Structure 1
């Protein structure tokens, strides 16, 4: 879409309304703020901010903060497109056709006013605008908060909260674009904390970090952070905190530990608690702190056990248990480690630790028993993924034990029973047999797949085996059973084109004709992409000419198809 033809690409009703807005001069403050980037305010039922990006006359993207959801382009964007087109015509015309005087942009106008207006008049104007525009007022406070006489904690909290207020829309929610701006500004503040640390100003760096730690989680509950900018703020803030602990004196470390201990239980940190845990472990320096930390973890475990969202709570409980386990290992508290593991082996990761301990002692029967019980528990809960995980662990036990019969049994089960039929298991099974023994076993697997698996996956399972074993004739016969599936034919063409070019071309011909019965530019583009591949097969040029001629005759009324064929095959009529 370009500035010359956008009227043909937009809904006629929207074009009419947008043009009316343009002629009524409701597009205000049109400004080219950067090469190809235009901003303006369009006055409708409210004032909406519109952003449009162009490259020469091509329209690359647009956005408007109005609530319109009836199509890709609203009337405010359309009005601004007319305004941009007019502005570009004026710029092209030059000074001679605009009264002989070069037209100033908004930036130049503002600079001239700021140079000429008195400070008193500017102050009066700014104060009058604050009464009309709360967002402007909040932005002003956030930007100049460093000049306030309040203490540092209040100052930075005021900066952060005002940035948040500026970003909030009419309904109090921070939309995607505003969220980018908000979290970019907060990231600059996080960087400031890092800079303070370099300057050995630990106190102010800590104040900034604590403010961000406390305020950002609240913002995330009410913001569209699809871009992940908030994660950058959180990561950089905690990274600075960890660096700070390496420089902090003992008293500051104790204060920071107490801070983490008090903040950790708060609900707003439910997905960030691990960050407090990691820091507390680093800060513990006394037996009292150690006891407080373990009690805090145990308290959180009990709290999660009462959580009605069982799946979520089980994951969190497991993570807390593993954290406690790691810490007990650091303290070398063997008895407490045994108690923790035995009392919590209903959780798969904890049971897995017991399996690893058994393997380390080469107690294979104990390891197998733990796995089998894990499978029973998982099946009762209908956790099929966990069942497969334990089956994989049983295979690991068999490998450690060098138990060939068990390795064969487990790899075959995992290959045939897994919904994804990972081919690695097939290769691991094959590796346990000699070249002389394998062909008979391979035929047994092929027979099992053919008779026992009832799904479309059978074709792909068999095809993978035929390719692995070099059974190209069987692969060809397999694909010939589905001659109209372009995806299937194209997936395995590279394995057939040298030995069976004629048969492959016949498959391509039937599958392309079947595929072309569908409509849409994506379909037509897929067809020409495959035709280019067919050209490279021995004898393929003739098939391509026949197919293109067939498509031109059969689908002559499909304008888009004809356009694409003309583009890629102009010589074939």
Structure 2
């Protein structure tokens, strides 16, 4: 959020603004320095000392950060206190408390290092680096990963050895890389990706091949001895595959093209990546490199060995792509007919038919898909109904449009179109309310998952606020009250305040801990925005008397 220095008092939440001003007035901004032009860092005293960082350009605060645990908005009281000081300072007023000391142009750590690097003699810097590499394995790994691209001895084996050493060093004596070590692994492996990207840009395609294949093999092995709950290793695999894909689209020398192609076939046949998505993905890359029919036959032979339902469907789609490029039209049509139950192949055929306005075939394939997938793949069934709807729309078949849009409106978690609006556009106005009542009755009787949200959306779109409020009263959780506030606040503010009050009382009675107290205070603030200041004060007074031993609760209440 950008904040103009001269207008921030009109932008920030009033309660936060008041607390920030109080912090400023009592001198809680105890230190402020300008580390670079327009970049400020302040220490603000609260329960602890918090660091606030601001970036200002043309009297606009473009960035603001504070390391305090405030989660209810983008601006906390510590940021406000710092901004208030800066506002006064920029306007050259005399209200700055004596406790604040401003240090202009204090050199940051990065600036000090930059200055020293200019002055340190070259030989001393070399000696220092050698000593650090000798004594610190992690530093040595990072150094090699960062500057290895300058070496003339580039090869897959060299990169693989470096990556292997980095991963095994991180694993340590217990042969396991836990989550605390993953940050080091990421930082040390990242230069390899940077090197590969640099090589791709400079058309050093052979080096891209060396790095990406080394990463693929070593990082795949690392999944067996690393905690990848954060997905860091997966990121390197995805990045390596993406770079290989980019490489396959370049104008490679015949020697390198054949080398990359042979690697893809070798890694598949040796099951180097078996069990992972990139096991088949590597054949997809090989497909991009194919120039001759005999090479396509090699890939087709590999694809015929694939087993497993999910993998076979992928393999069939890859095979169809190769058949289209290198085999006869009769072979392609025969293969499509044999594997039309494959959702990707069916979708591809439907798309082709739709583009050519062959709506009869679109309908035929979609209806067959519904029969084929109704039992085991209900998600796909929705896709086939969506194609039936598109065909009906293209043919302006009103009855079918209503039929399919109604079905998809009632039972579709991921809508592809606005089915509600489609229905409204095709049903006569005098029949519209009765049509909606029929849907509400039907879904209420079936009680399919998500039916209440469907009914709620109808109430909102039709602005049936009384019925929406009655629905809320049946399940008035704090989250649901908040969810419906924007629709009901105008007509039902007192009632919402009452519902909030009841829920907050129950919540505080059954919940202990600062995070829970902050949640309760969040909803107390929502009550205030609805005009419930008196009710909030009553609740606060009750909590003070009822739970005097809950110091964290009292502390949070004091900040409202």
Q: Which range, TM-score by smaller chain? A: 0.5 to 0.7
Which residue of 2 is the match for residue 449 of structure 1? 443
Which residue of 2 is the match for residue 254 of structure 1? 258
Find out whether 1:288 has 2:304 as its counterpart.
no
Find out whether 1:426 has 2:432 as its counterpart.
no
- Looking at structure 2, the residues matched to 146 and 426 of structure 1 have their Cα atoms a distance apart, in angstroms, of 57
Post-superposition offset of 1:469: 0.8
Find out whether 1:477 has 2:470 as its counterpart.
yes
- Return closer, same or farther for 1:357/1:240 CA change in 2, 3 Å cut-off: closer
- Return closer, same or farther for 1:545/1:314 CA change in 2, 3 Å cut-off: same
Q: Secondary structure at the match of 1:269?
A: coil
- Return closer, same or farther for 1:485/1:328 CA change in 2, 3 Å cut-off: same
Q: Contact conserved, 2:489 with 2:496, CA < 8 A, in 1? A: yes
Q: Contact conserved, 1:486 with 1:511, CA < 8 A, in 2? A: yes
Which residue of 2 is the match for residue 519 of structure 1? 511
Deviations 1:366-408 (A, max 9, x none): 433433332333234x333233333333323332332222222
- Looking at structure 2, the residues matched to 421 and 244 of structure 1 have their Cα atoms a distance apart, in angstroms, of 36
Which residue of 2 is the match for residue 215 of structure 1? 218
- Return closer, same or farther for 1:525/1:163 CA change in 2, 3 Å cut-off: closer
- Return closer, same or farther for 1:413/1:244 CA change in 2, 3 Å cut-off: closer
- Return closer, same or farther for 1:186/1:362 CA change in 2, 3 Å cut-off: same
Which residue of 2 is the match for residue 64 of structure 1? none
Q: Contact conserved, 1:242 with 1:279, CA < 8 A, in 2? A: no
Post-superposition offset of 1:342: 0.6
Q: Give the number of aligned pairs.
A: 442
Which residue of 1 is the match for residue 485 of structure 2? 493
Q: Secondary structure at the match of 1:170?
A: helix
Q: Contact conserved, 2:155 with 2:207, CA < 8 A, in 1? A: yes
Q: Contact conserved, 2:405 with 2:422, CA < 8 A, in 1? A: yes
Name the Cα RMSD after superposition. 4.4
Post-superposition offset of 1:441: 1.4
- Return closer, same or farther for 1:429/1:519 CA change in 2, 3 Å cut-off: same
- Return closer, same or farther for 1:493/1:423 CA change in 2, 3 Å cut-off: farther
Q: 1:14-25 to 2 correspondence within 5 Å?
A: none
- Give the counterpart of 2:169 among 166, 171, 175: 166
- Give the counterpart of 2:395 among 382, 386, 401: 401
Deviations 1:480-531 (A, max 9, x none): 344x532332221222222233333333333333333321333322222222
Q: Contact conserved, 1:531 with 1:544, CA < 8 A, in 2? A: yes
- Return closer, same or farther for 1:282/1:551 CA change in 2, 3 Å cut-off: same
Structure 2: tracts of 5 or more residues without a match: 1-43, 52-119
- Looking at structure 2, the residues matched to 149 and 419 of structure 1 have their Cα atoms a distance apart, in angstroms, of 56
Which residue of 2 is the match for residue 533 of structure 1? 526
Q: Contact conserved, 1:355 with 1:371, CA < 8 A, in 2? A: yes
Structure 1: tracts of 5 or more residues without a match: 1-54, 61-110, 305-312, 569-573
Deviations 1:95-150 (A, max 9, x none): xxxxxxxxxxxxxxxx9xx98xx99xx99xx99x9xxx999999999999999999
Deviations 1:168-209 (A, max 9, x none): 222322333434434543442344455556667655554444
- Looking at structure 1, the residues matched to 417 and 497 of structure 2 have their Cα atoms a distance apart, in angstroms, of 29
Q: Secondary structure at the match of 1:346?
A: coil
Deviations 1:321-370 (A, max 9, x none): 22232333445842222112111112222222333344445554543343
TM normalised by structure 2 equals 0.66
Q: Contact conserved, 2:271 with 2:279, CA < 8 A, in 1? A: no
Find out whether 1:346 has 2:341 as its counterpart.
yes
Q: Contact conserved, 2:186 with 2:232, CA < 8 A, in 1? A: no
Structure number with greater CO (CA < 8 Å, separation at least 6) is 2
Post-superposition offset of 1:409: 1.8
- Looking at structure 2, the residues matched to 183 and 195 of structure 1 have their Cα atoms a distance apart, in angstroms, of 18
- Return closer, same or farther for 1:281/1:454 CA change in 2, 3 Å cut-off: closer
- Give the counterpart of 2:181 among 167, 178, 190: 178
- Looking at structure 2, the residues matched to 460 and 353 of structure 1 have their Cα atoms a distance apart, in angstroms, of 33
Q: Contact conserved, 2:366 with 2:387, CA < 8 A, in 1? A: yes
Q: Contact conserved, 1:180 with 1:229, CA < 8 A, in 2? A: no
Find out whether 1:509 has 2:513 as its counterpart.
no
Post-superposition offset of 1:244: 8.0
Deviations 1:41-69 (A, max 9, x none): xxxxxxxxxxxxxx999799xxxxxxxxx
- Give the counterpart of 1:414 among 383, 408, 416: 408
- Looking at structure 1, the residues matched to 245 and 414 of structure 2 have their Cα atoms a distance apart, in angstroms, of 44
